[in-house]
Chains A and B, each alone.
Chain A
Amino acid sequence: MSVALEAGGLGKRYRRTWALRDCNLTVPRGRIAALVGPNGAGKTTLLHLAVALLAPTTGTVRVLGEPAGAPGLVAQVGFVAQDNPLYRDFTAGEHLTMGRKLNRRFDLALARERLERVAVPLDRRVGTLSGGQRAQVALTLALARRPELLLLDEPLASLDPLARREFLQALMGAVAEQGVTVVLSSHLLADLERVCDYLIVLSAGRVQVLGTVDELLDRHKLLIGPHRDPQPPIAGVVQVVRASHTDRQATLLARTDGPIHDPAWRAHEVTLEDVVLAYLADPSAGTLPGPSVHHDSLEVQA
């Protein structure tokens, strides 16, 4: 069983508006997946559907091979909601007690040790802690359940750059120790590029890009060459995602299926941020052929 999160035809409607529509995606196990998209793209809705806080209007969502909300799942999935909700008048220690009382599996020693390592006092009300410390408490609470899958909704949003780095370091450490699959939503692309190896781009309730980061970076190139109107096809380019030009020079962000040998064009490496922004800028740019991408990655996993 190698799929951590799988959605098929998943849709969620609030009254008249669709927050998420016809969403098909797969996140293989062992990945650290970034779920990105502009505000209102459906990231939170997708995560809430996965932890059964919401019920889907259409389609299905399966978590670790079981339908979301299955009784056995709750112990295997750790979730931290947006803004790291905690009981403000509880101390961090009391949160750990709560975790131990409410979960059959809860590694209290691990949780204490983790909070000690990130210097969060156990005996102070979390309302008096800093945003970074609260985020650590919320993450610890989820990790101490020793989940197979960790879903984090905008964990970095309220953190300053230093706290963000510390949080991501702590997360990476936990992933290395516990071998947990992570899906985290964010709009801070630069931070994600360093830690994530899988990408889901949601836009206006639909999946626009899906695949491993390596493949995405590999298959996209920034091409600089002469500007012509109309632009003739270039060998090796499958799709021009985004184009801009001056009078004489054109800059294309292109999806490729092989090396570019055309001497008129110079190919440059792209960053994850370039790719994501290019796709988000043009919602009609089309979806990456997700199935082939994650089919490949499944084979890698197997």
Chain B
Amino acid sequence: MTWLVWRQHRKQALFALLGLAALAAFMVPTGLQMHDAFRRAGLDDCLPAAARVESVRVSPDPEQPPDAVHACQELADQFTGRYGSLGVAGVLLWFLPLLAGMFWGAPLVAREVEHGTHRLVWTQGVSRRRWALVKLGLVGGGVVLAAACYALLVTWWRAPLDQATGQRFLSPGASFDLEGLVPVGYTLFALALGVFAGVLTRRTLPAMAVTLVGFLAARLAVELLARPRFLAPLRRTFPVLGDMTSNKLTSDWVVRAGVYGADGARLRGGVFGNFSYANCPEPPTSVAAAPTTASPCMAAFGPGAYNLELFHPAGRYWLFQGIETALFVALAVVLLLAAVHWVRRRIA
């Protein structure tokens, strides 16, 4: 059985290997370059300390030497300016799991049925159950291995960018979906979805279409609806009056940011894409200004207005990775079991 699986899928294995090699050929040199530039800029020294500071001044006092966080932010911005465009190229990797689902998963059973070869192979001395389990086990194992290699590579490659932008956890964003454990979960899910769709439709092309639509739907639903609710977000506030705001280098995932009045009503801002902050300068302490007249800036928000951030702290990153991976692996297992059941019962 192992021989047969290898014989049937060796081309796909070769393509995966070539794909990984091409990815490595691009990522290893550029990654080494990024890591080196990151170190030479001193970012690996300043960022860990800077990431622990929760609030910073909006704009540093030009007369004073910049504080450590702003100095580090400055370096990080320079680094991001230089290498950020590479990170954008990495967004293409978002679709890699889909390829596994469409080109490995969908034809796995559907192609056999289309060519009638299921009647050849299911009447040999190997039970359908064993056929399905060995085939899915080996192909699934190969896919998981390939996904793990790719995830390791991408995680290493993007690490400097993630630290410099503080957006490792941000979602929707490039990093969380491409790094750590989740790519393995996504890839296994895509494969299982493809296999299941192939068993259901018995045709490769419709199965590929179902895989495409199903994968996008599941990914977006989890990313936009479920992931922000894995745990209740924490909250932190900064008064509008004054120049303190949140530190962007913390790698926290801000899910909501806005300006709220003293009575708690939202004045501006909201979810990702609609974030809003406000800071009004403190009135000069000179006696000339009447303390009763608020500045025009403050008048817009009313006294006692504050900035509110709901966020998942950076420390939850791996927990969220684990939850999301487990979710997709569980979906994959359900789909695979259903596929094996249907192979045993329904198809002839």
Contact B348 A101 (CB under 8 A): no
Contact digits for B112-154, partner A, Cβ 8 Å, 1 yes 0 no? 0001110111111111000000000000000000000000000
For residue A53, which residues in chain B have a CB less than 8 angstroms away from its CB?
119, 122-123, 348
| Stretch of B2-10, B160-168, B293-301 at the chain-chain interface | B2-10
For residue B126, which residues in chain A have a CB less than 8 angstroms away from its CB?
102
Contact digits for A48-92, partner B, Cβ 8 Å, 1 yes 0 no? 100101110000000000000001001101010111011110100
Contact B119 A85 (CB under 8 A): yes
Any chain B CB within 8 A of the CB of A99? yes
Contact B117 A79 (CB under 8 A): no
Contact digits for A83-116, partner B, Cβ 8 Å, 1 yes 0 no? 1011110100010011101111100000000000
Cβ distance B129 to chain A, nearest Cβ, rounded Å: 11
Contact A81 B1 (CB under 8 A): no
Any chain B CB within 8 A of the CB of A221? no
Known: A83-B116, A85-B115. A98 touches B7 (CB 8 A): yes
Contact digits for B255-278, partner A, Cβ 8 Å, 1 yes 0 no? 000000000000000000000000
Contact B116 A101 (CB under 8 A): no
Known: A85-B115, A85-B116. A97 touches B124 (CB 8 A): no
Cβ distance B278 to chain A, nearest Cβ, rounded Å: 65
For residue A75, which residues in chain B have a CB less than 8 angstroms away from its CB?
125
Any chain B CB within 8 A of the CB of A145? yes
Known: A81-B116, A103-B125. A98 touches B348 (CB 8 A): no
Contact B116 A74 (CB under 8 A): no
- Nearest residue (CB) in A for B344 is A55
Complex Cα distance A54/B121, Å? 14
Contact A81 B7 (CB under 8 A): no
Q: Most A CB atoms within 10 A — which of B1, B123, B125? A: B123
- Nearest residue (CB) in A for B121 is A102
Contact B116 A102 (CB under 8 A): no
Complex Cα distance A103/B4, Å? 12
Contact B125 A94 (CB under 8 A): no
Cβ distance A170 to chain B, nearest Cβ, rounded Å: 19
For residue A99, which residues in chain B have a CB less than 8 angstroms away from its CB?
124
Complex Cα distance A141/B123, Å? 11
Interface size on B, residues (CB 8 A): 19
Known: A53-B123, A74-B125, A75-B125. A101 touches B1 (CB 8 A): yes
Complex Cα distance A202/B122, Å? 26
Complex Cα distance A90/B7, Å? 8
Contact A98 B123 (CB under 8 A): no
Complex Cα distance A231/B127, Å? 58
Contact A102 B125 (CB under 8 A): yes
Cβ distance A137 to chain B, nearest Cβ, rounded Å: 11
Complex Cα distance A97/B348, Å? 24
For residue A87, which residues in chain B have a CB less than 8 angstroms away from its CB?
8, 115, 117, 120
For residue B348, which residues in chain A have a CB less than 8 angstroms away from its CB?
48, 53-54
In chain B between 311 and 348, which residues have their CB closer than 8 angstroms to a CB of chain A? 345, 348
Complex Cα distance A77/B123, Å? 9
- Nearest residue (CB) in B for A83 is B116
For residue A51, which residues in chain B have a CB less than 8 angstroms away from its CB?
123
Contact A85 B120 (CB under 8 A): yes
Contact B116 A82 (CB under 8 A): yes
Complex Cα distance A42/B239, Å? 81
Complex Cα distance A83/B117, Å? 10
Q: Most B CB atoms within 10 A — which of A74, A83, A88? A: A74
Q: In the complex, which of the residues B4, B122, B127 contacts A98, with contact meaning CB atoms closer than 8 Å?
A: B4
Q: In the complex, which of the residues B8, B115, B124, B345 contacts A102, with contact meaning CB atoms closer than 8 Å?
A: B124
- Nearest residue (CB) in B for A77 is B123
Complex Cα distance A145/B3, Å? 18
Q: In the complex, which of the residues A71, A94, A103 contacts B124, with contact meaning CB atoms closer than 8 Å?
A: A103
Complex Cα distance A85/B122, Å? 12
For residue A82, which residues in chain B have a CB less than 8 angstroms away from its CB?
116
Cβ distance A130 to chain B, nearest Cβ, rounded Å: 18
Cβ distance A175 to chain B, nearest Cβ, rounded Å: 20
Complex Cα distance A97/B3, Å? 9
Contact A102 B117 (CB under 8 A): no
Complex Cα distance A99/B121, Å? 9
Complex Cα distance A79/B120, Å? 8
Cβ distance A236 to chain B, nearest Cβ, rounded Å: 46
Name the 5 nearest CB pairs between A and B, nearest first: A85-B116, A81-B119, A103-B125, A102-B124, A53-B348
21 example contacts (A-B, Cβ-Cβ < 8 A) are as follows: A48-B119, A48-B348, A54-B348, A74-B124, A74-B125, A81-B116, A81-B119, A81-B120, A82-B116, A83-B116, A85-B115, A87-B8, A87-B115, A98-B3, A98-B4, A101-B3, A101-B4, A102-B121, A102-B126, A103-B125, A141-B120
Given contacts A81-B119, A86-B120, 17 further A-B contacts (CB under 8 A): A48-B119, A53-B122, A53-B123, A53-B348, A74-B125, A75-B125, A81-B123, A83-B116, A85-B115, A85-B116, A90-B7, A98-B4, A101-B3, A102-B121, A102-B124, A103-B125, A141-B120
